[in-house]
Amino acid sequence: MPKITFVHRNGQESTVEAENGKSVMEVAVDNDVEIEAACEGSLACATCHMVVLDQGRYDALPAMDEDEEDMLDLAFGLTKTSRLTCQIRVTDELDGIRFQVPDDA
Positions in the binding site for ligand FES (CB under 6 A): 25, 37-41, 43-48, 71, 84, 86
Nearer to ligand FES, 56 or 101 (CB): 101
Q: Closer to ligand FES at the Cβ: 2 or 41?
A: 41
> Based on the number of CB atoms within 10 Å of its own CB, is 105 exposed (0-12), middle (13-18) or buried (19 or more)?
buried
Min separation Cβ 76 and ligand FES, Å: 13
Nearer to ligand FES, 23 or 97 (CB): 23
Name which of 9 and 56 has its Cβ closer to ligand FES. 9
Give the residue from 34, 24, 31 showing the smallest Cα distance to 101: 34
Residue 56's region, left for phi above 0, alpha for psi from -120 to 50, else beta, is alpha
The residue of the chain with the least Cβ separation from ligand FES equals: 86
Write down the least CB distance from residue 93 to ligand FES, Å: 20
Instruction: Name residue 50's amino acid.
Output: M
| E strand spans, the chain | 3-7, 13-17, 49-52, 82-84, 97-100
